[in-house]
Structure 1
């Protein structure tokens, strides 16, 4: 088994544990009134957001590994740090659920989300450079990915700033982004785009 397969197995195992912890962190309602039902509904939505964020990261990392031929030690360590930040999301989400959606918990969730995205960005850059270095495809892939990451990070930063004004709106913004991303993923075909981008005939025309 080569290092790429071992890394993929490690990520699969850790992500599976993180996803399991996220559902186990969902608090059970303590009452039978509408207030308890409302609180459980909000917490359930937070669980969905957390679950979609975790699995969307896994899907992007799987897609990245599928198109990598070379995996070196630096890329492995970047993925280890990425998994470290990703592992914090279920705990912080539980803090948001049990802390009455406090401002500090929302800020912690937003910052951890930002750090996770930034570290994963380093992983993508390292993966592209290791496999397309000196190729015109490298610049095209980096450009496309940076635009998407820049929008995601800026959105998260704005959401963190909004939390200082209205934590409820910030929670709603955190909910909307992964929901939109998951719905968009149902119709996207990134593999087709990657094959078109990396095809020799297409690279000659870049």
Structure 2
């Protein structure tokens, strides 16, 4: 999913300068585009309870996040796409590394205003994925066993659909139809509890968790 999001970002960035030049010759369409940077809080409670009982370090709850969004406005209704990727560490080789990703569609409006401040409620649905890697310390065995039956490193994953509720704040530019995006706060809630899986393995008796994700994002972009 990371490669897909990066590919989409590169395509958008490559065509945006050309598109902007063309639009400067006529009226800019009712589009909004932004990049986001911020933080997320996730709490896989059942997984962490099981890890604690087994004496394994719990999954990190906080992560730094980044992403982008693109939307189109039809009168007062906005239809948009947003994505985000968060990581508990900037170094992917760190022990107990947790990574979350999300992509979804949303409906919104810019009709709520207080002077130049635009208050934009959003509701959406999308698909979220969590990957967590854990290292078990003190494991012993032969070289061949670690390559066949025994391992001190396990990668878990949990995927599912989620509702996305948020409020974005934007600032209108005086005497124009344009505005710039400021920040957004929101919460994602999984539709169902999903069982944790071990990557490339079949397991039984795994705990289940529902996506519960609070986030705060700074938005760097503009719209009309």
User: Do these two structures clear the TM 0.5 threshold for a shared fold by scoring above it?
Assistant: no
Please tell me whether Structure 1 or Structure 2 has the larger radius of gyration of its CA atoms: 2
More helix by share: 1
TM-score by length of 1: 0.27
More strand by share: 2
